[in-house]
Structure 1
Amino acid sequence: MYMKKKRYEERQRSSRITRKRIITYGIIATAVSLISYLGYNAMIPVNGTTPVLGAPANHFIKATHSSSSGYTWVSIASAKVKGIRNTGGNVINPDYAFNKGELETFHVINEDYTTKSNHNFNIDEFNVHTKDLAYYESQTITFVADKTGTFEYYCTIHPEMKGEIVID
């Protein structure tokens, strides 16, 4: 009888909700909620209001300056460029070709070592606007190519930095 009572008391003690357990569960619940909220918002493209599930096509582009070509955008990875399906990168002010409805992501980096000027990347029709990126800053923008036509991307600081996006 004594052993049963002792085991019962130990179970009661181990299943008690203590202040330490409440704090631990609260921290875990807060962390899970925060991660869920940020993950949900990360899936919403800049020209949308609801999350989009799926992997976007990634395009890497950098802002540069050289004495021979001036301020330019340069693709730094393989890109689906108008007229050419796979460029291998290093195309100056590339013209991109997308299909309507595709999820697209631009990874923009300012690598303007020469002048260390700020640059930004904009496509007005899709609400794509980066902040002014200082030297070696980067920003990633995801959008849905939900309109057909030819659209210009550009830098407001250096108007000669521009190219086209064609959506079929």
Structure 2
Amino acid sequence: MKKQKERPKPRFTRNRAVAIGAIAAVVSLVGFFGYRALVPVNGTSPVLGFPTNDFIKATHSKSGYFYLSQASGSVKGLRSTGGSSAHINPSYVYSKGELVSFHFINEDYDTHSKHNFNIDAFNVHTKDLGYFGTETVSFVADKTGTFDYYCSIHPEMKGTITVEG
């Protein structure tokens, strides 16, 4: 009786091909969203660099709705109107070409109203965020001048940013 030759085991099995395909899909998605995260809202290409991070929250008290920026010590970009570390409807100052990230949070515990954050000149628009909702938006301060930021739901919530050349 003649002995049959054993076939060599294939290197590429079906399970291995599926696993490699799944890994490639995950890597592609991570790369796509990682790339998109580097593109500011008023740009078309990624910006590599460290942004100026500003934290601003929407809140309410007996005096009405307002934005509040909390800072510990001296904060680059924040124009202080007093010695307090909490600034109501603060004004910010940036240099032209600076990458800026606003971290916006709705902390309106009193009314649980929705809020948003907008700067039309730089195409900055957050979603309408419910209580304790957050969103971060980055942009390049590519125009000089003084620009308003505001909440489209509560017109009294507003402030300014100044971009100096």
Please give the TM-score of this superposition, normalised by the length of structure 1. Answer: 0.86
Match of 1:32 in 2: 27
Match of 1:152 among 128, 148, 155: 148
**1:42 is matched by which residue type in structure 2?**
A
Identity over aligned pairs, percent: 59
SS of residue in 1 equivalent to 2:34: helix
Match of 2:115 among 95, 112, 119: 119
- Map 1:37-52; keep pairs closer than 5 Å: 37-52=32-47
Alignment partner of 1:71 is 2:65:
yes
Alignment partner of 1:81 is 2:78:
yes
Match of 1:90 in 2: 86
Unaligned runs of 5+ in 1: 1-8
SS of residue in 2 equivalent to 1:65: strand
Match of 1:54 in 2: 49
Confirm or deny: 8 A CA contact 1:145 1:167 kept in the other structure: yes
Matches of 2:129 and 2:137 in 1, distance apart? Answer: 13
The count of corresponding residues between Structure 1 and Structure 2 is 156
Confirm or deny: 8 A CA contact 1:82 1:166 kept in the other structure: no
Matches of 1:115 and 1:129 in 2, distance apart? Answer: 22
Matches of 1:88 and 1:21 in 2, distance apart? Answer: 61
**2:107 is matched by which residue type in structure 1?**
E
Deviations 1:103-153 (Å, cap 9, x if unpaired)?
000010000000111111110000001111111111110000000000010
* Structure 1 ranges of 4+ moved more than 4 A: none
SS of residue in 2 equivalent to 1:33: helix
SS of residue in 2 equivalent to 1:91: strand
Q: CA deviation at 1:45?
A: 0.5
Confirm or deny: 8 A CA contact 1:120 1:133 kept in the other structure: yes
Matches of 2:120 and 2:130 in 1, distance apart? Answer: 21
Q: CA deviation at 1:82?
A: 2.6
Unaligned runs of 5+ in 2: 1-5
Alignment partner of 1:106 is 2:102:
yes
